[in-house]
Chain A
Amino acid sequence: DGGITQSPKYLFRKEGQNVTLSCEQNLNHDAMYWYRQDPGQGLRLIYYSQIVNDFQKGDIAEGYSVSREKKESFPLTVTSAQKNPTAFYLCASSRWGGDQPQHFGDGTRLSIL
C-alpha cells in the first residue's frame, strides 16, 4: 500500500543534541511538508518542498533544517538552536498544483530529556 512512513514514533533528545526525523513516501508525490503540533494549537508549517533539491521555509523554520535529495525522502533535523523542540511532528505529501489533498504520516513525538 502507498503511504507515508515516519520514524521513529517516539524520540528523546538531550540538551544540545541535533536529532533527525525520518519521512519517506511511496506515493510518487512531488511536494512534501513538515508540520509541528503543540497541545491545543493548530498545525504549523516548518518547511516544505515542491521538488527534489528545493525547499522553502514555512512559518516556524528557525532551529530546523531539511534536505530533499530524493523524491521519496524529506528528513527534518531539529538542531540545538531550537529552544523548545518538545512537540509532535507530522510529515505530509501531496501532488503539486491546484487544490490537492495532503497525505499524512503517523507522526513523531519528540521529548527533551
Chain B
Amino acid sequence: KNEVEQSPQNLTAQEGEFITINCSYSVGISALHWLQQHPGGGIVSLFMLSSGKKKHGRLIATINIQEKHSSLHITASHPRDSAVYICAVPAAGNKLTFGGGTRVLVKP
C-alpha cells in the first residue's frame, strides 16, 4: 500500500507570503491529486498531475516522479487561501490513498 506523507501538518503565514506544502509517497504512481478542503468541510479538486508543473491562478503544483515527491505552492497568499490542502495518490482501480492534510492559515 502506498504511504503518503505531507509536511508540514500546520502552517501559518502572513498575507502575501509564499507558501510551500510537500507530499511524498512510497510507491510509484501515474498521477497525483491535490485537493483543497474548505473550513466548512467541502473538498475541491485543485490539480491532477503526472509530470512537471501545473499552474492555476496563484497555485502551482510540481511533481518529481523519480523522487516520489510533489509540492504545492501558493504565491502572494491571501486569507481566503486558509484551508486544509490534501494530496492523494491512486490505489488499485480508481481508489485514492490520502495524505493527512496540511492546515494553512493566512493572517491579514
Contact = CB atoms under 8 A, between A and B. Distances in A.
Interface residues of B, number: 24
Interface string A91-106: 0101011011111111
A41 B89 CA distance: 16
A94 B94 contact: yes
A94 B45 CA distance: 11
Contact of B42 (A31, A48, A58, A107): A107
B100 A40 contact: yes
Nearest to B84: A37
B25 interface: no
B29 to A, nearest CB: 9
B76 interface: no
B40 to A, nearest CB: 7
Nearest to A95: B94
A71 interface: no
Contacts of A44: 98
Interface in A31-72: 31, 33, 40-45, 48, 50, 58
B93 interface: yes
Contacts of B86: 42-43
Interface of B: 4, 30-31, 33, 35, 40-45, 48, 50, 86, 88, 90, 93-96, 98-101
Question: What 6 pairs across the A-B complex have the smallest Cβ distances?
Answer: A104-B43, A99-B31, A106-B42, A42-B98, A107-B41, A43-B98
23 contacts: A42-B99, A42-B100, A42-B101, A43-B98, A45-B95, A45-B96, A48-B94, A48-B95, A50-B93, A88-B41, A90-B43, A92-B43, A99-B48, A99-B50, A99-B90, A101-B45, A102-B94, A104-B35, A104-B43, A104-B45, A106-B41, A107-B41, A107-B43
